Amino acid sequence: MVKQNQSIMALLLLFLILAISAEVEGAKKSYGMYNNDNNSVKLFVFGDSYVDTGNFIHSGAYKPPSGMTFPGYPAGRFGNGRIITDYLASFLNIESPTPFVLRNSSNLQNGVNFAYGGTGIFKTLVDGPNLTIQIDSFEQLIKQNVYSKTDLESSIVLVNAGANDYTTFILKDRNIFEIHKFMKSLVDEMIVSLIRIHNLGAKKIVVSLLQPIGCLPTISVASLYIDCIDLFNLVSRDHNKMILGNLEDLNKEIGKPIFRTLDLYNSFLSAIRTIQKKRKENSTLINPLEPCCALGSVGYDCGKVDEKGEKKYTLCEKPELSFFWDNAHPSQNGWYSVFMQLESSLGQIFGKNL
């Protein structure tokens, strides 16, 4: 009888241990935000070429010399290797989310990237899905039950858009005096899109602040790549100030810090200034404002070849050490430098208790 009672007690103890183990595992799944083993975190990405990892199939992102540093061949990123999306995914201990265009042939456990190079908040010069259409695709996946309410609530949404809208405005309207009126309509539309993403169930939405567009090689060439053009950076600063004000109001209205910002403006400037300072001490370092993949002829872009297949561009000696890959996009080293400036703030931005 005693042995029987001991056996029963042993079984009860075993069941208790199993129950506690299951509860611990459940807690890990609920709170282990940065633990890749449970795949609890997903990253959903919206925007343009700065965050696109492969949606723009018929573009230079799928032609040499794109991807020469990583993964070693053209793979859909606008640059020679990893971009900010890859570094942010790595910070979350997940693989980069699958591009939407490849959704039927890939695992979607890490999220989906809807970003499409050249697009914006409004219609731009590139005929691709703008932010509204990208969110339509997101909503479609939710309606198809690809992602649950829990998936959305525990995951991160990254939105990076706006730069191509300003480019389109300047090239089409050519009225710099109307840019603040345009800015107001652009930011208003961005806020509408962000509210829509939140209403679909997202609880952690990170919005990129506009990069210092006066530092892009296509603009800084006016200074012979000596310095950024502050008049254009002023557009970025005004845009960011307007975004920050609107997001602060939204968070107050909701009562929670749903919307956070990724400060690309200051991280770009800090990274560039750091390299410029080092270059003063060592003139052999690459000028951070100068593009690595430079134009060889007027009318040709990085990666373009003529009808004979001859390259119409030139490459710098060490692409892996450049800051800008082409006239608009950072290189892998450039994005890594920006990421290093951002890294200390990412724990708060991607925090669990939003």
- Asked if 84 and 50 touch (Cβ cutoff 8 Å), the reply is yes
Q: Give the pLDDT of residue 301.
A: 81
Q: Give the pLDDT of residue 26.
A: 33
Q: Give the pLDDT of residue 282.
A: 87
Q: How far apart are CA 285 and CA 348, in angstroms?
A: 34
Q: Give the pLDDT of residue 85.
A: 98
> 88-97, 175-184, 256-265: which has the minimum mean pLDDT?
175-184
Going by C-alpha positions, the residue among 286, 343, 294, 295 that lies closest to residue 320 is 286
Cα 265 to Cα 97, 189, 216, 271, 272, distances in angstroms: 24, 21, 12, 10, 11
State the pTM of this model: 0.88
Q: Is 60 exceeded by the pLDDT of residue 184?
A: yes
* Catalytic residue IDs: 49, 326, 329
37-271 fold: Rossmann fold (3.40.50)
Count Cβ atoms within 10 A of the Cβ of residue 301 and give its class: 0-12 exposed, 13-18 middle, 19 or more buried: middle
Q: How far apart are CA 233 and CA 219, in angstroms?
A: 10
> 151-165, 186-200, 221-235, 303-317: which has the minimum mean pLDDT?
303-317
